Chains A and B, each alone.
Chain A
Amino acid sequence: MNIIRQTKWTLLELFPEQKETEAAAEETAWNNALAAEAEARAEAAAKDKESVEGETPLDQIEAEMSSIDLIEKGKADSSPEQTEPPPVYDPETHDVPFSEIPEGPRADGVLVVKYASRGVHIDVQCSPEQVVESARLLDQAGFCLESISGVDWIKEEQMEVVYDYNRTDGQFCRVAVRVRIPRAEPLVPTVSDIYAGANWHERETHEFFGIKFEGHPCLEPLLLPEDADFHPLLKDFTP
């Protein structure tokens, strides 16, 4: 099963509404594809029948010619797929369609984005309450947490925390989980009890941005001096 698809469905557990619409969309896509396939097969069968049924010598010759053509074509291409029936449409192996990240504020949900321009396969926007659940789902799926980065969106009065997940078992899928929080009261639950490595990343984000990670065992400054009460990466920070 395609890992990107699998992860997408895993993460859709968080968003039941989007899951329903996605499932419905996928079903119609599947049905459409199946119908198209059936039509194509029926057409092919009808053509075969025509060529067989054609009793006139001219038709026979034509049929022979076409069959010779076909054989020659097959030889020239020398690919076994030519003779085999077209593969059945299967959403399990079907490529997941890409979508673009919309500009401006965006609704919570799972997006499959272009790796070539984004560097990640799946981009999730979620609420602070869903952070721990997303980490748990990804942990069960075998992901590791690569980094946590904060972003200060001063114009929108918001802060963003981006969690970058990655796999190290040979399957290639990167996930970014974003969460937006009000700038006045930046509060996100900790994932350090799920990923032990998140401990230091969260401490770092806390000292640079002042984002509080609820339930974190020790939110002392890590890279800054112990008594640092400033947050240097805030956009309105002046040394």
Chain B
Amino acid sequence: MTVPIQCTPDETFVLNLGPQHPATHGVLRVKLTMDGEYVVKAEPVLGYIHRMHEKMAESGTFAQFMPNTPRMDYLSALSYNQGYVMAVERAAGIEVPERAEYIRTITVELNRISSHLLWFGAFVLDLGGFTPLLYAFDDREKILDLLERITGSRLTYCYYRFGGVYNDIDDEFIAGTREFIKRLRSRLPSMYHDLVTGNIILIKRLRDIGFVTQETCRKYGATGPVLRGSGVQYDVRKNEPYSVYPELDFDIPCYPEGDSMARYMVRMDEITQSLRIIEQALDKLPEGPVNAKVPKVLKPGAGDCYCAVEAARGTFGCRLVCDGGKNPYRLKLRSPTFSNLSLFGEVAEGMILADALAFMGSLDLVIPCIDR
């Protein structure tokens, strides 16, 4: 609960949260000015795993930057892969075959589920519940197995290519995915929701804590489940349709409360919606090639373009500036968690430390994505 602080500045002390702290999910440091248990000022300190991806993009060709994209957000690697590939396709004017678009949609949604499942486990672990993490990883493992079969790696998938995908999916993958949908559908209510969502401890820790208003979201440019948890029905997949999303029927989960519980519920509902998307995409999967004819050395004309996709944590944007050469002239990577974390300082003011950590968990931070 947020309590107004009445203290003189000299009664406060500085507490360093991180850089090595289990609740920050990586090397994030938060400089907290505390008054007893209450946070007076929270100042995130970033850059512990900054790798300068944007400079790496400038020094290599368009294709050579591809393996970097999944290493930004290792949990929803394919969304980032897709965002970059789509930006280059937009700049070079490449048309993607329909089958490739469907395969992209199926795999990216599987990746979204695996990302949300890991977040679910880690978030409940932050709040002190250890068991749900193991159940979530059990299901996530199934997705990793499926994606490993077709992409060749388990975490940092680099599966999309300019104008298509690396290689076609097979029947075994389709059958496995259908089986997985059935399995997760049966486990979601009977396991995840009964065990965790209805749990009194979780509700007491999350409800009415960490309010983020719509105006705060707009001012800070927060997107994704943080925005949808504040009652704004915005999703790039619906509002700015790309790929084959306009042909698929799905809803945008949206909770108006704006507290940590709302963000939790948004992500849990998104898993259900992603399952719906995958099922429809598998039904509609057309035959055909999975790769467009693209020159080996890509040289888009001079000019710049912007491309946004919905990653698991919000809008991932790429601003690509080309000068007609074979290297990107400038690539700006707009990571959703960077903006989502920037509102932490404002919202965490006046919270109890334990609540501030629960709130931070509900923002779903992935530090490599913030630091780039």
A-side residues, CB < 8 A to B, are 101, 103, 116-120, 142, 144-147, 149, 151-152, 162, 164, 166, 168-170, 172, 174, 176, 195-197, 199-200, 208, 221-225, 232-233
How far does the Cβ of B315 sit from chain A's closest Cβ, in whole Å? 7
Q: Which residues of A contact B334 (CB under 8 A)?
A: 146-147, 149, 164
**A197 lies within 8 A of B305 (CB):** no
Q: Please, could you name 28 A-B residue pairs with CB atoms under 8 Å apart, sorted by A?
A: A118-B303, A119-B306, A119-B308, A142-B218, A145-B221, A146-B339, A149-B330, A149-B334, A151-B304, A151-B329, A164-B334, A166-B315, A168-B218, A168-B232, A169-B232, A172-B239, A176-B306, A195-B220, A196-B346, A197-B219, A197-B342, A200-B342, A208-B54, A222-B46, A223-B50, A223-B372, A225-B47, A233-B55
Task: State whether the Cβ of B93 lies closer than 8 Å to any Cβ in chain A.
Answer: yes
> Which residues of chain B from 202 to 219 have any CB-CB distance to chain A below 8 Å in the complex?
217-219
Contacts A117-B90, A162-B319, A222-B46 hold; do A174 and B221 have CB atoms under 8 A apart? no
Q: Which residues of B contact A164 (CB under 8 A)?
A: 306, 317, 319, 334
Contacts A147-B317, A164-B317, A170-B239 hold; do A197 and B221 have CB atoms under 8 A apart? yes
Closest to B52 in A: A232
Q: Which residues of A contact B74 (CB under 8 A)?
A: none
**A147 lies within 8 A of B332 (CB):** yes
**A120 lies within 8 A of B346 (CB):** no
**B47 lies within 8 A of A146 (CB):** no
* Interface SS majority for chain A: loop
8 Å CB contact of B319 from A117, A149, A222: A149
How far does the Cβ of A18 sit from chain B's closest Cβ, in whole Å? 22
Inter-chain CA distance A32–B330, complex, in Å, is 44
Closest to B218 in A: A144
**A172 lies within 8 A of B227 (CB):** no
Interface size for chain B: under 10, 10 to 19, 20 to 34, or 35 or more residues? 35 or more
Q: Which residues of A contact B227 (CB under 8 A)?
A: 168
**B217 lies within 8 A of A168 (CB):** yes
Task: State whether the Cβ of B234 lies closer than 8 Å to any Cβ in chain A.
Answer: yes
Inter-chain CA distance A116–B306, complex, in Å, is 10
**A196 lies within 8 A of B219 (CB):** yes
Q: Which residues of B contact A200 (CB under 8 A)?
A: 338-339, 342
Task: State whether the Cβ of B371 lies closer than 8 Å to any Cβ in chain A.
Answer: yes
> Which residues of chain B from 48 to 94 have any CB-CB distance to chain A below 8 Å in the complex?
50, 52, 54-55, 58, 87, 90, 93
The 10 closest A-B pairs by CB, nearest first: A149-B332, A119-B306, A197-B220, A147-B334, A223-B47, A168-B234, A197-B221, A223-B50, A144-B218, A119-B305
